[in-house]
A and B are shown apart, each in its own frame.
Chain A
Amino acid sequence: MAQSTTLQSPAAAATHDAPRTGNWDGGNEPFKASYGKLMMWFFLLSDAFTFAAFLTTYGMIRHKHEVFTGEAKDFVFSTRWWPIPDHVFNAFPGMGEANVPLGFVALMTMILILSSVTMVLAVEAGHRMDKKDVQKWLLWTILFGSTFLLSQAWEWSHFIHGHAEPTIMADGTKLFGANLAMNQYGPVLFADLFFFITGFHGTHVFSGVCLLVWCFIATTNGTFEKRGHYEMIEKIGLYWHFVDLVWVFVFTFFYLV
């Protein structure tokens, strides 16, 4: 193309007729969120699909198995039907063989939900740039998170060792507890799914606690203060709430229904 007179430069023209400046017109953040926060949202969306796939797996496999149709009081463990959770998860630490259906897991859930509350308070303190408060609420969150993990460890250990009363198998062998190949509570997949899904969720909680510890260190040494904002805590907070929310679903599927 022939070289000829050039147009007014766009930079100069910009003052003459400026581009539109609506919310979605570019040059700004349409969701009023930084790219980091958006990335966390999209990651969580992705992770939600991972969990959804696992819970769908749970649903489909459970649907394939028989349901115990008799009276609840007559229920016995058998590989023939899916167990009733009240009979599986009825132990409480320090209470021996007392029958406390879902008591311990209710406490665990309570603790995790509390940790969400303290997380919110940490984020809110971050908005106020209140370093002391951020530290305080982060510590509480870490404490509740760790307590949840320890409780889960106890729950798993009890699940693995089994009840005092063994289940007598068809061939007469006595079976205590559970592993990935067999268990005393019901079909083999009951334990497989329990270990896999609560384990996967526990891994998320563990990662969350690690991230929170890192946040605590970065808060303490003033990294966020220098940065001028505590957005990182907000992002980790999003993750933490997501993990809590997933637990609500896991809890519902494994313990309530």
Chain B
Amino acid sequence: MSDLTPKPNFSASVQASGGVGSAPVPTTEHGDHLLHDDHDHEHHDQHWLWKYVFSQDHKQIAKQFLITGMFWAILGGTLSSLFRLQLGWPEGSMQWLTPFLGHWIQAGKLNPEFYLALVTMHGTIMVFFVLTAGLSGTFSNFLIPLQVGARDMASGFMNMLSYWFFFISSVIMFSSLFIETGPAAAGWTIYPPLSALPQAIPGSGMGMTLWLVSMVFFIVSQLLGGVNYVTTVINLRTRGMSMSKLPLTIWAFFLTAILGILSFPVLFSAALLLVFDRSFGTSFFLSDIYIAGQALSNQGGSPVLFQHLFWFLGHPEVYIVIMPAMGMVSEVLSTNARKPIFGYRAMIGSLIGISLLSFVVWAHHMFVTGMNPFLGSVFMFLTLIIAVPSGVKVFNWLATLWRGNIRFTAAMLFSIGFVSLFISGGLTGIILGNATLDIQMHNTYFVVAHFHLVMGSSAFFGLFAGVYHWFPKMFGRMMDEKLGYIHFWLTFAGVYLVFMPMHYVGIAGFPRRYYAWTGFDAFSQFADMNKFISIAAIIAFLGQFIFIFNFFYSIFRGRRATQNPWNSTTLEWTTPIEPGHGNWPGEIPAVYRWPYDYSKPGSDVDFIPQNVPLSQTQSSNLPYEQEMAD
């Protein structure tokens, strides 16, 4: 057996086997998956409507999710800028916004009801539409088939439905912004009785109804997407791609999808019960209410029950948001540190641990509801255990960077930024997870700062890292790195400048969801701090337009990508630069090794793709690998 030839070009070898564009219609290894066979033969000259709009191709659907998510992110950011204006300059005139906000500006002041609507919609949009649908919708769709070696998702049709249900949900939620009584205003957690009684506030009328209807469509979309992701990972892995050879991205998407499948239905139940309370006179969440001089007949229900149901979704939801980001960051860090991910199995184990724990900690959002203190301490105990798998992940990321041959690409910067934000935000989680401390911190800006760092901004950083890293695979071109650096530093500095001071005002007791605080002497001393936060937030938000420009400019004018621009080991880089429907023109590559063979001792190149057989890497094989190769 001969040794490796010096400086081999793996990507070229793959091209040689596949033959870009010249290959015949692919045949699939999974003969019994009708879908793949059917598709590839028929639709080569598709009408643009089926190719770009009602596409069943996972890559196209991923782009649809991404673009829709970006639209929502801009809108969500705009809303936050509006309420930051109010918080930074509570006495200032907002007359100039009248052309945009119409009757929500009265006598130069922002309507207080509308302020509540703004924070509600900001939360709803960011958590569900951007960081759930926009993040895992984009990357689960895009990366799962490419990285496990499949032609497409298990069911392309259901995948398409998943996007269009999301689209309908988006249209409904968007339209609720324009109705006369305004959108939902009971906070993104929509606690009854406020959300259940249309007479309580204008935002609990039509706006709340549309919110609930929109979320029902959203949940259906999540379910359709989720079962697809899970079954694709289970059934459609290519030959050799065992679960312990899966890239960590796929493990993260897989577990995220399971979390979604198990937690969203409970939100569905809560939403349906709430619909009945609102529209059909039931009393599930209502009891003993006296409103507008009138006693309601509803008896026996429990608003705390709603909180239990909501947070049974709500807590796994934050992991639905953060885990895909964790997966992508692991991948980007390893690739750009040119080192195997440290503790691959520990990384999988900690993802599984986080997934399991995420279902048994929900009541830590409810320490002040009057729950039994014993129950509180159980939830506190379980909550603090999450610090263990989270710590494992953080140390593994740091150990991956340690003495790496680091390339500071834009994606890498955002990944390192992610680790930084996750640590900073995670530490305050330990404080908030303590039932006794939480009584002091509850509903202050400390909480706002905590979750914006640990799940909001971190997940956004993961999203950015993913876009910068996989952009060449999506559009066949590179994003501009210089603009990427500017974008990173503006965002990174911006996030810390916004949320660090917020911790400070939060500890001092500054409450969230207050329209104005000028009537409280205790909080007036934070006027400057609030102004500072607002300015930082608005600048950081404006900085995102650099990314938007970079994104759209690069789609058309970016530098052309090579087949494997980051010298990465995973399967998506073995496809043609712009993969067509079916992903690989020839046979799907088989997999022989784990996805992190970076800088392997004995190898002449610092990466060995997963599809290179062990027999071709004699010089770098470990003893047990050599045994398998012989």
A196 and B276 contact, CB distance less than 8 A = yes
Question: A181 CA to B226 CA in the complex, in Å?
Answer: 38
A46 and B261 contact, CB distance less than 8 A = yes
Please report which residues of chain B, range 531-548, place their CB below 8 angstroms from some CB of chain A when the two chains form the complex: none
Query: Which residues on B sit within 8 Å (CB–CB) of A1?
Result: 7, 9, 567, 605
Question: A50 CA to B271 CA in the complex, in Å?
Answer: 11
Given A38-B234, A61-B301, A187-B300, A180 contacting B281 (CB threshold 8 A): yes
Question: A46 CA to B268 CA in the complex, in Å?
Answer: 10
B265 interface contact, C-beta 8 A: yes
B300 and A61 contact, CB distance less than 8 A = yes
Query: Which residues on A sit within 8 Å (CB–CB) of B420?
Result: none
Question: A30 CA to B241 CA in the complex, in Å?
Answer: 12
Partner of B268 from the list A31, A39, A50, A181 (CB cut-off 8 Å) is A50
Tell me the nearest residue of chain A to B616, going by C-beta: A7
Give the tally of cross-chain contacts (CB within 8 A). Answer: 207
Query: Which residues on A sit within 8 Å (CB–CB) of B231?
Result: 35, 38-39, 42
Contact with B along A23-64 (1 / 0, CB 8 A): 011110111011110110011011101101110110011001
Partner of A2 from the list B7, B17, B272 (CB cut-off 8 Å) is B7
Partner of A7 from the list B10, B234, B281 (CB cut-off 8 Å) is B10
The segment from A13-21, A119-127, A138-146, A215-223 found at the interface with B is A13-21
A188 interface contact, C-beta 8 A: yes
A25 and B273 contact, CB distance less than 8 A = no
A5 interface contact, C-beta 8 A: yes
Tell me the nearest residue of chain B to A7, going by C-beta: B13
Question: A27 CA to B245 CA in the complex, in Å?
Answer: 13
B243 and A61 contact, CB distance less than 8 A = no
Query: Which residues on B sit within 8 Å (CB–CB) of A94?
Result: none
Please report which residues of chain A, range 160-183, place their CB below 8 angstroms from some CB of chain B when the two chains form the complex: 180-182
A69 interface contact, C-beta 8 A: no
Question: A11 CA to B611 CA in the complex, in Å?
Answer: 10
Given A17-B592, A17-B628, A60 contacting B155 (CB threshold 8 A): no
* Min distance, Cβ B352 to any Cβ of chain A, angstroms: 15
Query: Which residues on B sit within 8 Å (CB–CB) of A30?
Result: 234-235
Please report which residues of chain B, range 571-604, place their CB below 8 angstroms from some CB of chain A when the two chains form the complex: 586-587, 589-592
A22 interface contact, C-beta 8 A: yes
Tell me the nearest residue of chain A to B6, going by C-beta: A4
Given A7-B612, A24-B243, A64 contacting B6 (CB threshold 8 A): no
Please report which residues of chain B, range 265-285, place their CB below 8 angstroms from some CB of chain A when the two chains form the complex: 265-266, 268-270, 272-273, 276, 280-284
A39 and B282 contact, CB distance less than 8 A = no
B299 and A180 contact, CB distance less than 8 A = no
Query: Which residues on B sit within 8 Å (CB–CB) of A189?
Result: 282-284, 299-301
* Min distance, Cβ A35 to any Cβ of chain B, angstroms: 4
Question: A20 CA to B273 CA in the complex, in Å?
Answer: 50
Query: Which residues on B sit within 8 Å (CB–CB) of A86?
Result: none
Query: Which residues on B sit within 8 Å (CB–CB) of A17?
Result: 592, 613-615, 628-629
A6 and B300 contact, CB distance less than 8 A = no
B557 interface contact, C-beta 8 A: no
A45 and B236 contact, CB distance less than 8 A = no
Query: Which residues on A sit within 8 Å (CB–CB) of B30?
Result: 27
* Min distance, Cβ B308 to any Cβ of chain A, angstroms: 8
Tell me the nearest residue of chain A to B564, going by C-beta: A1
* Min distance, Cβ B24 to any Cβ of chain A, angstroms: 14
A6 and B243 contact, CB distance less than 8 A = no
B49 interface contact, C-beta 8 A: no
A25 and B235 contact, CB distance less than 8 A = no
A8 interface contact, C-beta 8 A: yes
Query: Which residues on B sit within 8 Å (CB–CB) of A26?
Result: 148-149, 237-242, 245, 591
Which of A4, A11, A46, A193 has most B Cβ within 10 Å?
A46
B262 and A45 contact, CB distance less than 8 A = yes
Query: Which residues on A sit within 8 Å (CB–CB) of B264?
Result: 46
Question: A3 CA to B238 CA in the complex, in Å?
Answer: 28
Partner of A46 from the list B223, B270, B587 (CB cut-off 8 Å) is B223
Which of B29, B241, B586 has most A Cβ within 10 Å?
B241
A252 interface contact, C-beta 8 A: no
A35 and B232 contact, CB distance less than 8 A = yes
Given A4-B7, A43-B227, A35 contacting B613 (CB threshold 8 A): no
A45 and B261 contact, CB distance less than 8 A = yes
Partner of B591 from the list A19, A31, A53, A200 (CB cut-off 8 Å) is A19
Query: Which residues on A sit within 8 Å (CB–CB) of B266?
Result: 49-50, 52-53
A192 interface contact, C-beta 8 A: yes
Query: Which residues on A sit within 8 Å (CB–CB) of B8?
Result: 4-7
B297 interface contact, C-beta 8 A: yes
B133 interface contact, C-beta 8 A: no
A136 interface contact, C-beta 8 A: no
Query: Which residues on B sit within 8 Å (CB–CB) of A128?
Result: none
B269 and A53 contact, CB distance less than 8 A = yes
Question: A61 CA to B613 CA in the complex, in Å?
Answer: 61
Partner of B284 from the list A5, A182, A192 (CB cut-off 8 Å) is A192
* Min distance, Cβ B312 to any Cβ of chain A, angstroms: 7
Query: Which residues on A sit within 8 Å (CB–CB) of B33?
Result: 34-35
B238 and A42 contact, CB distance less than 8 A = no
Question: A13 CA to B297 CA in the complex, in Å?
Answer: 76
B215 interface contact, C-beta 8 A: no
Question: A187 CA to B302 CA in the complex, in Å?
Answer: 14
Tell me the nearest residue of chain A to B4, going by C-beta: A7
* Min distance, Cβ B571 to any Cβ of chain A, angstroms: 11
Query: Which residues on A sit within 8 Å (CB–CB) of B5?
Result: 4-5, 7
* Min distance, Cβ A22 to any Cβ of chain B, angstroms: 7
A132 interface contact, C-beta 8 A: no
Query: Which residues on A sit within 8 Å (CB–CB) of B158?
Result: 39
Could you list 12 A-B pairs, sorted by A, with CB under 8 Å? A2-B7, A4-B6, A4-B8, A6-B16, A11-B586, A27-B29, A27-B30, A35-B231, A35-B232, A35-B235, A46-B226, A56-B308
Q: A14-B613, A42-B227 are in contact. List 7 more A-B contacts (CB 8 A).
A: A7-B5, A7-B13, A10-B13, A18-B590, A42-B231, A45-B261, A46-B262
- Pick the 9 closest A-B CB pairs, nearest first: A19-B240, A27-B239, A53-B269, A26-B241, A26-B237, A9-B17, A35-B154, A50-B265, A192-B282
Residues of B near any A CB (own CB < 8 A):
4-10, 12-14, 16-17, 29-30, 32-33, 148-149, 154-155, 158, 223, 226-228, 230-232, 234-243, 245, 261-266, 268-270, 272-273, 276, 280-284, 297-302, 305, 308-309, 312, 567, 586-587, 589-592, 605, 611-616, 628-629
